[in-house]
Amino acid sequence: MKILITGGAGFIGSHLVKHYLKKNHSVVVIDNYVTGNKNNLKEVAVNKNLQIVEADLINFSFSSLPQFDIVYDLASPASPAVFEKLSFEIFKVNSIGLINLLDFFVRSKSSVFVFASTSEVYGDAKVTPQPETYFGNVHTTGPRSCYDEGKRFAEAVISAYIRKYNIDARIARIFNTYGPFMNKEDGRFISNFINQAINNQQLTIYGDGTQTRSSCYVSDMVTGLVLLGETKNLKGEIINLGNSDERKVVNVAQLIKKLTNSNSKIVFQPIGEDDPKKRCPDIAKAKKLLGWQPKINLEEGLKLTIQYFRSQSTNVS
Ligand code: UDP
């Protein structure tokens, strides 16, 4: 197959690229490296089946590209820590960039389009766990709105393309995901806590830590995305992908402290505006339509991630 992966140098994108290369498919990556990292694809850079295009979707012509069997659109900064700094990049890639990509998809008569949406479309959810039918509770002008509304706009645009051009597009609502190749400086809770714990720094909890997240190991996420791209008859489907093992943030910090044998102190700092209090995916639809559910439990996934972060700090020093 011919696969296009935008944001292919990012955390989840680079795992998806490696999955398809391992299966001997031909992969084109488009990334502008705003949050993606060339090092994420270093081990596959010489693979003849991989073409990397350094470009921004908002002004790329696509004229050099062929027809694809599957287009995965993962091009967007995603960490709340960069929402203020990169708000316009987020708005543009999820609007102008997405429309350019969809126009190319229609023009090239490519087959399946998979969009990486987010649990953030549910905002500070009043319903938990969150099913795909929940319309969400998003603060439209708050500090997270560039991402939340960017992705909601993107879902609306894709739905309009399905109606107008009858394209086979599918939407993944991706919940918190972690694992090797996470950006160390990304500001996410799991990467922050692991870095802090292995460097004997204080673990910084925002708020009282009773807010919950449900974290999915990256290999499970990739399996879910691949099934979403490759399963027949899913046109127009919106599917939550995530692990429904819901934990309080403070408990994840304690678990990471234990797994790293760290003496670091846990400290509490002010929480950002609109930080969702409860996040947990209802994955009944993914189970039914994709036959998918996560396999790696939190403890196991954290151990693998800690190992990776330790290997990175060894490489640096
Ligand atoms: N968080 C924290 N300490 C950190 C980073 C994040 O307590 O060093 C909290 C954050 O306030 C949120 C949760 O952990 O409640 C998950 O944050 P993250 O940035 O990983 O992603 P989000 O799920 O908010 O998109």
pLDDT band at 135 (very low <50, low <70, confident <90, very high): very high
Number of CB atoms found within 10 A of residue 88's CB: 9
315 — pLDDT class (breaks 50, 70, 90): low
Cβ proximity of 104 and 28 under 8 Å = no
Residue with tokens 């996420």: 221
Residue 119 tokens read as 């649990």
Q: What number is the average pLDDT over the span 24-46?
A: 98
Q: Is the CB of 118 under 6 A from ligand 1?
A: no
pLDDT at position 12: 98
Dump pLDDT digits (tens) for 249-290: 999 999 999 999 999 999 999 999 999 999 999 999 999 999
**CA dist., res. 87 & res. 70, Å (int):** 28
Q: Would you call 67 helix, strand, or coil by DSSP? A: coil
pLDDT band at 313 (very low <50, low <70, confident <90, very high): confident
Taking residues 11-19, report their average pLDDT. Answer: 98
Least Cα distance to 176 among 272, 266, 276 occurs for 276
pLDDT, residue 316, reads: 47
pTM above 0.85, yes or no: yes
Indicate if 147 belongs to the active site.
Answer: yes
Q: Are strands 70-73 and 2-6 parallel, antiparallel or unpaired?
A: parallel
* Per-residue pLDDT, 128: 98
Q: How far is the CA of 118 from the centre of ligand 1 (A)?
A: 15
Residue in 147, 161, 178, 217 annotated catalytic: 147
Burial of 268 (0-12, 13-18, 19+ CB in 10 A): middle
Q: Which helix (H) or strand (E) holds 6?
A: strand 2-6
Regarding the beta carbon of 192 and ligand 1, being less than 6 Å apart is answered yes
Ligand 1 centroid – CA 282 distance (Å): 20
Q: How do the domains of the chain map onto residue ranges? A: 2-183+215-244+276-295
Answer whether 2 contacts ligand 1 (Cβ < 6 A). Answer: no
Amino acid at 179: G
Mean pLDDT, residues 228-232: 98
Q: Residue 116: is its pLDDT beyond 60?
A: yes
Q: Is any ligand 1 atom within 6 A of the Cβ of residue 268?
A: no
Average pLDDT, the chain: 97
For residue range 182-226, list pLDDT tens digits in order.
Answer: 998 999 999 999 999 999 999 999 999 999 999 999 999 999 999
Q: Atom of ligand 1 at shortest distance to CA of 209?
A: 7
Distance separating alpha carbons of residues 176 and 189, to the nearest angstrom: 10
Instruction: Tell me: pLDDT of 65 over 50.
Output: yes
Q: Residue range 111-132: average pLDDT?
A: 98
% of the chain beyond a pLDDT of 70: 99
Q: Which residue shows structure tokens 């995305």?
A: 225
- The CATH superfamily holding the domain 2-183+215-244+276-295 is NAD(P)-binding Rossmann-like Domain (3.40.50.720)
